[in-house]
């Protein structure tokens, strides 16, 4: 349980860094922006599944770079609050939900939290590749870089 606050601190920082990297690359190509918006939309969908609150965005929303920047900040705050308030033992609790294709599933809280961070990292890699293919240097969003730079707290011993 102690790693989830760190993972979500990393996720929030990496999302903000990638949005900034998209802005620094000049004119934002449509596909990387769409993938960044997907990260935002998917994180809100998963957050709503865990909190049972209204879904803010679809899985593939259409957002501007500025909207992605604002949403990334807010997502960092809500995820930090959620993982910081999880009761002991709740990671194995089941969460029933319906996916975007209308299929019904149940996953544990812990699996959902891990999925959110891995899913976002996967797509940030796609965005970094697109930035590099356009002739620009993408931001480093490696976890270990974030820890070394103090963007993510070091693991407590």
| Residue pLDDT, tens place only, 47-79 | 999 999 999 999 999 999 999 999 999 999 999
pLDDT, averaged across the chain = 94
The DSSP secondary structure of 9-38, one letter per residue, reads HHHHHHHHHHHHHHHHTSSPPHHHHHHHHH
The three-point CA angle 121-75-99 to 5° equals 70
Burial of 15 per CB tally in 10 Å (0-12, 13-18, 19+): buried
| Residue pLDDT, tens place only, 13-42 | 999 999 999 988 777 778 999 999 999 999
CA proximity to 4, closest of 86, 99, 107: 86
Say yes or no to pLDDT of 100 above 90.
no
Q: Which domain holds residue 70?
A: 3-86+94-148
Residue 153 lies in a domain: no
Single pTM value for the model: 0.94
- CATH code, domain carrying 102: 1.20.120.450
Say yes or no to pLDDT of 149 above 60.
yes
Q: Virtual CA dihedral for 72, 41, 90, 92, nearest 10 degrees?
A: -130
Number of domains in the chain: 1
Residue 154 lies in a domain: no
Q: What percent of the chain has pLDDT over 90?
A: 85
User: Both tokens of residue 83?
Assistant: 């993982």
Rounded to whole angstroms, the Cα distance separating 34 from 1 reads 32
């Amino acid at each position: 349980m102690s790693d989830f606050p760190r993972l979500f601190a990393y996720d929030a920082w990496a999302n903000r860094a990638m949005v900034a990297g998209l802005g620094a690359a000049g004119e934002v190509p449509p596909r990387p922006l769409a993938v960044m918006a997907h990260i935002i939309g998917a994180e809100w969908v998963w957050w709503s599944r865990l909190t049972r609150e209204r879904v803010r965005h679809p899985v593939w929303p259409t957002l501007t770079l500025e909207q992605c920047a604002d949403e990334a900040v807010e997502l960092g705050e809500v995820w930090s609050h959620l993982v910081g308030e999880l009761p002991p033992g709740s990671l194995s609790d089941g969460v029933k939900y319906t996916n975007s294709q209308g299929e019904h599933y149940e996953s544990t809280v812990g699996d959902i939290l891990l999925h959110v961070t891995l899913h976002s990292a996967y797509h940030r890699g796609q965005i970094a590749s697109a930035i590099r293919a356009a002739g620009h240097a993408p931001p480093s969003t490696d976890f270990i870089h974030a820890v070394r730079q103090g963007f993510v707290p070091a693991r407590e011993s």
